[in-house]
Structures are given as structure tokens and as C-alpha cells.
Amino acid sequence: MNSNILLDNEKLVKNFGARPISEIAILPDFYTFKKGLVYSHRDFDKFMAALNNGEKCAIVSGFNPSGTIHLGHKVVFDTNLFFQKKYGVSVFIPISDDESYIVGKVKDQKQGLEFAMQLAKELLAYGFDSKKTYFIIDQVYTNIYNLAIKLCPKVTLSEIKASYGYGPEDNPGMYFYPVIQSAHILLPIESFGFKQVLVPIGPDEDPHIRVCRDIAARASYNKPAILHMKFMPGLTGDKMSASKPNTAIFLNEPEKSIRIKVNKAFSGGKETVDEHRKNGGNPEIDIPCIYLTNYFYDEKQSKKLVEDYKKGKLLSGEVKKLLADELIIMTTEFQTRIKKVTDKQLEKVILKNKNV
């Protein structure tokens, strides 16, 4: 398994001023925090203080419409849902149809919009509350560009180039998009009366939010708080990615495909059954063990799984079957729910210019 997956998380603390989440004395009672799936933060303590003081708080959690939901999104989505269900937090979900077009991830704007609408439907099916969830699709909610223009004087081209490494060969939309993304994040404060915003992200997305935090301070907004989630390895042991289908399980995937992928997953087992029974396997590098203990099992179940695998009582094939069964339950439930999401429901949760 790739040992470099955590390097991005570690760099944020060592080199870019993020703080380890472990420094916060009282963390939310939720599996993503208890299992260490949240690595570090920026001002999460301030967000929680505001939330506990009854201030109006929101989450902003973006998605690129060049793919579909896969298992790697689970940690962020579940964390967002936790805050929505426990604290009634509104969740704003920018679906960056315009960015997908600018960087060539979709063939044209029409396809970007189609993908964005489908993703919004999938996210409703995942479990987000239609009364407290707002989708920002920029081709529909064009007011976002007005806010982006307002924010432009708060950042320089040199800062954008330094953060993203863009050169003269890149199109102007790529230079402008970081400001649009900042507008997405600051919209709940600017237009909906929220005081604090939380943005849960993967470590690779931190440069985007650092630009936004600088813009926010210069524009006299509260800086958005950040949670950095750990990168989970893909099925092959490398980074999970929608562009590499063999590394991920997609929620719209059929059962047969799931079982085939899981059976090929990177294993910590021994080469033969006899050797595994005698010496046991390594659950720390075994992808099915990692997924079961982090995504699906509680503390007691996880402990038993790890111990049985180490002792050779549980074979790699048996662990893979356990994981496949859990994944099929999850995906089957999702695929049932998405069939029930109507266009009318979708229409209600997509922001339109008249909302402001």
C-alpha cells in the first residue's frame, strides 16, 4: 500500500499552519472524529464555539460534476450530515459546472449542467435534508458572479499564480475561478445571514480555502473554518480517484462489479491459506480491513476483526466478502432512494437568482 497517502495531511500541519485536530479537547461524538478520519483543522474550535452559542452557522461542501459519488466521498458527506442532523446546520453544496468546463473535464457547458443536475439528485438520495440543503449550480445561480466580482479587488493575480501555479498558457477562467470558489464559500455569510462557515475538505484542496480565508479577512467576513479529512487509500492501495475506476466503489455500481473489484483489492494476507492460518495477516495494510473498520464497523466489531485477522482466524477472502456485503447493502439502499427523488424535489433545492 502507498505509504505517501498521508503526506499531504502532514504537510498542512508542518508547513502551512494547520492545527492537529487532536489539540481540541472536546470533539463531536461522531465516527469520523472518533476514528481519526479528521486529521487537522483551521479555526474549527471557533466554529464549534459559535455553534454551541446558538449562532447561525453553515457548511459549504463543493463537488465537481465530472464524475459520480464514490466511497471516497463518504467521510465528508457523513460529517456534513452529522452537523445537519444534530445541529440543524444548513449545507450549501456548490457543484462547479463552470470549472469543469473551464478545465476541460466536460465537453461543453450543456454537459456540465446535465452532470450537475444529476449529482444534485444523487446527493439528495444520499440523505441530505431538502429543507436545509442548497445547491449552487453556477449556470443557474448566476448571481454568484456578482459576488465574485465584488471579491476580486481583495486578491491579486500574483497570489493566484503563487497558489495554483498557473502560467500564461492557461485560460483566464482558471485565474478567475478561485474567486468564484471564494464566492461560493462566503455566499451564506453575504446573502443568507450566516455568521460562521465550515468547509470540510481533503488535504489537496487546502490551497483553495487559504485563498478564500485571505479574501474573507480583507473583505471583513469571518474566515471560514476548515476540517481536513484523511485521504483514504483506494482499492489498489494508491489514492482513490474517480478517474481510475479500479480504485473506487461507486454508489451507482452493480453488485457484480463491486464483488469483482473487492476481490482484487490490495490484501494484507499471506500467500497461502496455511501460512495465513499460521502467521496471520496485516490489517494495517489490508484495504478491506481498513474500509470495514473505518467506514462500517463499531469499535467492538473492529477490534474483533483486527484480532481475528492477525491471528489467522479470518482469511483475506472472508474479509473481502464481509466488505462486499456491506458495500452492496449501502449501494442498494442508495440506488433505491435515488429512484424516488423527483424533479420537483430537485427544483426546490437549487438556488436561483430570485432567492437573493
Residue-range domains of the chain with CATH: 7-235 (3.40.50.620), 245-337 (1.10.240.10)
- Is pTM beyond 0.75? Reply is yes
- What does pLDDT average to over the chain? 94
* Contact yes or no for 236/266 (Cβ under 8 A): yes
Q: Does the structure show a pLDDT above 60 at 28? A: yes
* Contact yes or no for 326/292 (Cβ under 8 A): yes
β-bridge partners, 233: 239
Q: Does the structure show a pLDDT above 70 at 282? A: yes
Q: Considering only CA atoms, which of 181, 184, 168, 176 is closest in space to residue 152?
A: 176
**Backbone φ and ψ of 2, nearest 5°:** -65, 120
Say what the pLDDT of residue 208 is.
87
Q: Does the structure show a pLDDT above 90 at 304? A: yes
Say what the pLDDT of residue 246 is.
87
Q: Does the structure show a pLDDT above 90 at 130? A: yes
Q: Does the structure show a pLDDT above 80 at 139? A: yes
- 157's CB contacts (< 8 A; 6+ apart) are 175
User: For the residues 265-288, what does the mean pLDDT come to?
Assistant: 94
Say what the pLDDT of residue 4 is.
64
**pLDDT tens by residue, 201-215:** 999 899 889 999 999
**pLDDT tens by residue, 65-123:** 877 899 999 999 999 999 999 999 999 999 999 999 999 999 999 999 999 999 999 99
Q: Does the structure show a pLDDT above 50 at 356? A: no
- Note the helical H segments in the chain: 7-15, 31-34, 44-52, 74-87, 97-102, 109-126, 143-151, 157-164, 172-192, 206-218, 255-263, 273-279, 287-291, 299-311, 316-338, 343-349
**pLDDT tens by residue, 219-273:** 999 999 999 999 889 999 888 877 788 889 999 999 999 999 999 999 999 999 9
